[in-house]
Structure 1
């Protein structure tokens, strides 16, 4: 369970990049706040997936299509926002806003949905509430640690780019990575 959670949480994805950026702009405390938000948002999604959301997917296949396009739109919107960011640290949002954005972003994050549905299917497939809660608790701890690593990495990177042209360059690279993620989802 923990290995699955680690592989899914620490691998790059849109919310990991939000956490990295928060750390780069405001330091590791802001990165950690965003990591908490992402973890709480994902844990809520994970619990709902384990307690019956999977049956809604089976009953209404159009939900999968709607999520696909909403997730694709979200990735493109994030890439656009990063690409046009002026690279000035003073214009960045506060860590609290970033935490709420990260929590909400998990619900549009294709990687999060895949991890939640696959993980619950593998480790709590019977829908037994105690199994669901146990898996969600393990996943939450691993997710928080993984996301915190992205925030700390962002803080390290932020000290090197220090705003201006360096931050603009970082934003463009992150935007490009998000576009590659979106291209993988395009059908």
Structure 2
């Protein structure tokens, strides 16, 4: 097993900004790093399950018609937009309870609706030739679980640190609005190909 290559692949995709990471960041900012732990664990478990099932042949292209996968992507985009809107509408600074704390099942389910997670799973299985290699797939999944947990989990303490730097109501408000807009923009950009296919534009 190309351990180093797989580790770098998992680390790069886990650390890269995406919808799940930005939600973890926002939770760390508004509620503290510890509050994000359940969501981090759920997102890690959800992605690992998706990776394993992808490697076992239940990929989007084999298990479901393309329009079903596109609908899942669009649904995921709506969920991500919901978190973005909650951040934009939140008032009262970081102590406000207007922004809900996402939990384990939200993290797990969101990965299955996250286009970035599907791309990471499909490309990882294909890149390392894990189709039909159950033992290799399980090793990769175990490695990815550990790297993913650390990679996405780091966004929570980063958020908590940012909350201390953003020490005025105006800075806090501008940050939550910016983060909410980034989430919405990211969701729309990731789901744009699926929307175009559903509308027959591509």
2:95 maps to what in 1?
89
Partner of 2:83: 78
By percentage of residues, which structure has more helix?
1
Structure 2: unaligned runs, 5 residues or longer: 1-5, 197-202
Aligned to 1:155: 160
Rg larger in 1 or in 2? 2
C-alpha displacement of 1:76: 2.4
Quote how far apart the aligned CAs of 1:88 are: 4.8
Give the match's secondary structure for 1:12.
Answer: coil
Which SS does the other structure have where 2:130 is aligned?
A: coil
Instruction: Give me the whole-angstrom Cα distance separating, in 1, the residues matched to 2:46 and 2:31.
Output: 21
Counterpart position of 2:115: 110
1:164 deviates by 4.0
* Count of residues in Structure 1 that have an aligned counterpart in Structure 2: 184
The verdict on how the C-alpha distance between 1:154 and 1:88 changes in structure 2, with shifts beyond 3 A counting, is: closer
The verdict on how the C-alpha distance between 1:106 and 1:153 changes in structure 2, with shifts beyond 3 A counting, is same
2:62 to 58, 62, 81: 58
**Counterpart check, 1:99 vs 2:115:** no
CA spacing shift, 1:43–1:162, aligned 2, 3 Å = farther
Tell me: CA distance 1:176–1:49, structure 2 relative to 1, closer, same or farther (3 Å): same
Name the counterpart of 2:125: 120
Deviation per CA, 1:34-72: give whole Å up to 9, x if none. Answer: 322211111111111112211x52362223322332233
Name the SS for the 2:132 alignment partner.
Answer: coil
Aligned twin of 1:171? 176
Q: Of residues 22, 26, 33 in structure 2, which corresponds to 1:21?
A: 26
Query: For residues 114 and 163 of structure 1, what CA distance do their matches in structure 2 show?
Result: 39
CA RMSD of superposed structures (Å)? 2.1
Determine if contact 2:23/2:83 at 8 Å carries over to the other structure: no
- The TM-score with structure 1 as length reference comes to 0.86
Whether the 8 Å CA contact 2:56–2:134 is kept in 1: the answer is: yes
Secondary structure of the 1:139 match is helix
Task: Report if the CA contact (8 A) 2:30-2:95 is conserved.
Answer: yes
1:48 to 31, 42, 53: 53
Sort the Cα spacing of 1:140 and 1:47 in 2 relative to 1 into closer, same or farther, 3 A.
same
- Say if 2:46 and 2:109, in contact at 8 Å, map to a contact too: yes
